Amino acid sequence: MADTLIENAPVTETPVEAAPVADTAAPAARPDNRDRRGGPQRGRGGPGGGRGPRTRAPRERSEFDSVTIAVRRVARVMAGGRRFNFSVAIVIGDKKGRVGVGLGKAADTALAIEKATRDAKKHMITVRRTETGSIRHEVGAKYASSTVSVIPSPGRGLVAGSAMRTVLELAGVNDVITKILSRTKNKLTIARATVEALSQLQK
């Protein structure tokens, strides 16, 4: 009897909830030019900036041309080793009559060049030239161990060597013959002797 009742009892089905299915779909694409923190991308070429091609502001060109005529490395012996400094001699000019020679000393060549340029501008002179770019009369000067002479020579161009040529070219002087009357090869003293000679020109 009990078996009959159990067999004929109504069977109630309990609904089984479906297990949550993991979302395997790819995450939604982020808007363009946005990183994980919501800010603009820092990648190359994006409108948000970053490491794209940089455009530098054009640097103003100096009114003077400069030529380095001598670079020396000076060693000073100190406790613990040697300490090196650099000595740089520079000639600057605008090729229109103004020229100067400067000397700079520093532990770095770039700083020494900057100091030499400032020194040359401080000691700049204006050369009195003729209409053709020559000089009116012969001049000469002595500086330290260097003795030089500059002689006008129409139609010959610039006949000069060593540091004298550099000084005369940057001063814009033509049609002259030069002579170095001493045996020294020190370019700094030769250049300064040339500037000293050009400063003696009269109108």
Residue among 162, 199, 200, 155 at smallest CA distance from 178: 162
Q: What is the pTM of this model?
A: 0.68
CA 47 to chain centre: 30
Residue among 187, 202, 115 at smallest CA distance from 148: 187
Assigned token pair, 37: 């923190």
Classify 131 in phi/psi space as left (phi over 0), alpha (psi -120 to 50) or beta.
Answer: alpha
- Residue spans of the domains in the chain: they are 65-125, 127-198
pLDDT tens-digit profile of 82-125? Answer: 999 999 999 999 999 999 999 999 999 999 999 999 999 999 99
**Least trusted range by pLDDT, from 61-65, 92-96, 156-160, 179-183:** 61-65
Rounded to 5 degrees, φ, ψ at 160 are -160, 165
According to the CATH classification, is domain 127-198 in 3.30.230.10?
yes
Tell me the fold of 65-125: Double Stranded RNA Binding Domain (3.30.160)
**Which are the contacts of 37, defined by CB distance < 8 A and separation ≥ 6?**
none
Task: Give dist(CA 50, CA 163) in Å, integer.
Answer: 48
Contact 202, 136 (CB under 8 A): yes
Is the pLDDT at 150 greater than 70, yes or no?
yes
Average pLDDT value for residue range 51-72 = 76
Q: What is the DSSP pairing of strand 139-143 with strand 81-93? A: unpaired
Residues 192, 194, 195: CA angle, nearest 5 degrees: 65
Task: Give dist(CA 165, CA 169) in Å, integer.
Answer: 6
pLDDT score at 80: 84
Largest Cα span, the chain: 150
